[in-house]
C-alpha cells in the first residue's frame, strides 16, 4: 500500500504533532522522521519516561512549549514553522482521570480541539489536518459493530469529550472548508504506554514481576484493539489521503475487527508469554465504562485501501518484547 510506504510524500514536509510525547505521538514522530519529514512537537509536560525522550526522538524535533488552549501560541507556531500538516493527537486519554476531573478533560479535549482548528483556519496555510477521535465517541449502542454513520452518543466525561472534538472537526470542515479528517480507532496497545491501568501493559508488567494480572472490570467488557504502530501508519495514510480525495469532514474507523473481552485479551497475553499458570485477579471495580465496543473498518479498507501492517498477534509479540527490553525502567526487575 503506497500510503504506508516511503513514497516521498513526507520528505521535508513541516508537520505539527500535538501530543508528540504521548504514547501514540512517539510512534507517529518515529514514522515521520523515517520518511524525512520535519516534525514540530507541541509539548505541555516534560515526561522523562516517554518514548519520545528515552529513545532520543525529541532531539530531532522542533519543540514548542505550551498548551493547546493557547491560541496565540498555536498561531505563532503554525506561521513561524510554515506548518503544512497537523496531526492532532494531544488529549487527556484516561477514562478514570476523566471521571475524577471532567473539567480538565473537557478543557484539553474539547477546548484544545476548537482552539487548534480555529488557529488553522485563521492562519489559512495548513493543507491537511487529522483529528484523533475514538471509538468511545460512539457511546453505548445496540447496533454493533460501529460504522462511521453511527450517531455519536458519548455520555460519560471522556466519551463526551471525544464526541465533541469529533463534531468540532466536522463542523470546521463543513462551515469553513478546513481540510480535516477524523480517526476513530480501537484501543491502542504497544511499547511505551505509561498507563499501566490499561489491560495490555498492566498484564505484561504483572507477568514480568511474576504476579497475577489484575482485571479492573468483571472481565466481560468487549473491546477492539489496534497496535500503536498500525495506528501511527493509519494516521499518516489518512493525512496523505486528504490531499488526494474529497474526504474533508469525514471520519474513518481503524481496528482489527476482532473484538475480545478483557479476560480473553489477558489470556492471550499470558499464552504468548508462556505464563498460563498465572490466574487473573478480577476486581470488578471499573465504573462509567461501556460494556461492548467494536468497530467496522470496512470504509477505511475500501476508500483508503487500508490494511494493517502488523496485526494483533504480531503487535502483542512486539509489545511484549519492548517491555522485556525496558523491564528495569518500569521496575519489573
- Bridge partners, residue 261, by sequence: 222
CA 216 to each of CA 189, 209, 243, 281: distance values in angstroms, whole numbers, following the listed order: 17, 18, 43, 8
How remote is the C-alpha of 176 from its chain's centroid?
A: 26
Q: What are phi and psi of 56, to 5 degrees?
A: 60, 40
DSSP state letter for 185: E
Q: Is the peptide bond before 273 cis (omega within 30 degrees of 0)?
A: no
Q: How many CB atoms lie within 10 A of CB 95?
A: 22
How remote is the C-alpha of 319 from its chain's centroid?
A: 16
Q: Which residue among the candidates 138, 146, 158, 256 is catalytic per the annotation?
A: 158
Q: Which stretch of DSSP H or E encloses residue 260?
A: strand 260-261
Give the Cα separation of 328 and 333 in Å (integer).
Answer: 5
Give the Cα separation of 43 and 63 in Å (integer).
Answer: 7
Give the Cα separation of 52 and 25 in Å (integer).
Answer: 8
Give the Cα separation of 118 and 34 in Å (integer).
Answer: 30
Instruction: Give CA angle at 272 (267, 277), nearest 5°.
Output: 55
158 catalytic per annotation: yes
Q: Contact 179/128 with Cβ under 8 angstroms?
A: yes
Q: Which residues are catalytic?
A: 158
Amino acid at each position: 500500500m503506497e500510503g504506508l510506504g516511503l513514497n516521498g510524500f513526507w520528505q521535508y514536509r513541516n508537520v505539527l504533532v500535538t501530543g508528540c510525547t504521548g504514547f501514540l505521538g512517539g510512534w507517529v514522530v518515529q514514522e515521520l522522521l523515517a520518511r524525512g519529514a520535519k516534525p514540530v512537537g507541541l509539548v505541555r509536560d516534560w515526561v522523562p519516561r516517554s518514548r519520545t525522550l528515552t529513545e532520543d526522538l525529541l532531539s530531532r524535533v522542533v519543540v514548542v512549549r505550551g498548551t493547546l488552549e493557547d491560541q496565540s501560541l498555536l498561531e505563532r507556531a503554525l506561521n513561524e514553522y510554515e506548518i503544512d500538516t497537523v496531526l492532532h493527537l494531544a488529549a487527556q486519554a484516561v477514562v478514570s482521570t476523566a471521571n475524577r476531573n471532567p473539567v480538565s478533560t473537557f478543557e484539553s479535549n474539547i477546548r484544545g480541539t476548537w482552539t487548534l482548528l480555529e488557529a488553522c483556519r485563521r492562519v489559512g496555510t495548513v493543507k491537511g489536518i487529522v483529528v484523533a477521535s475514538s471509538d468511545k465517541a460512539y457511546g453505548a449502542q445496540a447496533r454493533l459493530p460501529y460504522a462511521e454513520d453511527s450517531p455519536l452518543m458519548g455520555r460519560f466525561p471522556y466519551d463526551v469529550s471525544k464526541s465533541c472534538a469529533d463534531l468540532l472537526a466536522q463542523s470546521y470542515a463543513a462551515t469553513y472548508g478546513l481540510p480535516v479528517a477524523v480517526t476513530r480507532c480501537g484501543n491502542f496497545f504497544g511499547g511505551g504506554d505509561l498507563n499501566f491501568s490499561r489491560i495490555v501493559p498492566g498484564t505484561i508488567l504483572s507477568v514480568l514481576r511474576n504476579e497475577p494480572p489484575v482485571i479492573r472490570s468483571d472481565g466481560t467488557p468487549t473491546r477492539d484493539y489496534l497496535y500503536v504502530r498500525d495506528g501511527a501508519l493509519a494516521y499518516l495514510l489518512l493525512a496523505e489521503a486528504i490531499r488526494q480525495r474529497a474526504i474533508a469532514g469525514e471520519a474513518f474507523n481503524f481496528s482489527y475487527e476482532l473484538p475480545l473481552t478483557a479476560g480473553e485479551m489477558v489470556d492471550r497475553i499470558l499464552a504468548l508469554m508462556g505464563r498460563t499458570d498465572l490466574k487473573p485477579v478480577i476486581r470488578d471495580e471499573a465504573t462509567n465504562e461501556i460494556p461492548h465496543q467494536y468497530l467496522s473498518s470496512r470504509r477505511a479498507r475500501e476508500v483508503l485501501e487500508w490494511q494493517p501492517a502488523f496485526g494483533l498477534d504480531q503487535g502483542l509479540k512486539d509489545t511484549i518484547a519492548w517491555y522485556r527490553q525496558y523491564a528495569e525502567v518500569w521496575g519489573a526487575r
